[in-house]
Amino acid sequence: MTKPAVPLVTDSTLRDLVAAGVVEAITATAKAGGFEVVVKFGNASPVLGNARGEPKLYASLDTIAAQLLKLGIKTFNVDATGYKPGLVRGPRPDRAEAMKRATSQQSARDKTNQRSGTQ
């Protein structure tokens, strides 16, 4: 696995940085399909990362706000320059097929229960 080009910060480290009072700014920065969270402190500007060591990409500002509130952060900036809406993750045809099967099976159970008088 190659290291990302940008430095990363974890949720727990961000929480510690905020508690220490060293965070100068947090900015949701637009990327293709979503936003990354950039944390500015001192001369560093790492991006909030995921467990796989990659930058987290958020589909909505609502999700970022909820995540930051969990970390005790009540304000952040937004830089929507170059924002292009789109999917953060690619389509999952396997999940779509599984949902169709589950719906079909539930429908069949419902019909059987209606005929037998149970619900």
Neighbouring residues of 9: CB distance < 8 A, sequence distance ≥ 6: 17, 39, 46, 47, 48, 49
- Domain that residue 20 falls in: 8-88
Asked if residue 93 belongs to a domain, the reply is no
Asked if residue 110 belongs to a domain, the reply is no
Reference 27, options 102, 70, 81; nearest CA is 81
CA dihedral sign, ordered 97, 57, 17, 6: positive
Asked if residue 82 belongs to a domain, the reply is yes
Asked if residue 3 belongs to a domain, the reply is no
User: What are the pLDDT digits (tens) for 23-32?
Assistant: 999 999 998 8
Asked if residue 103 belongs to a domain, the reply is no
**pTM (2 d.p.):** 0.68
Asked if residue 99 belongs to a domain, the reply is no
110 SS3 class: helix
**Structural domain tally of the chain?**
1
User: What are the pLDDT digits (tens) for 44-69?
Assistant: 999 999 988 999 999 899 999 999 99
Asked if residue 69 belongs to a domain, the reply is yes
The lowest-confidence range among 66-70, 109-113, 115-119 is 115-119
Asked if residue 117 belongs to a domain, the reply is no
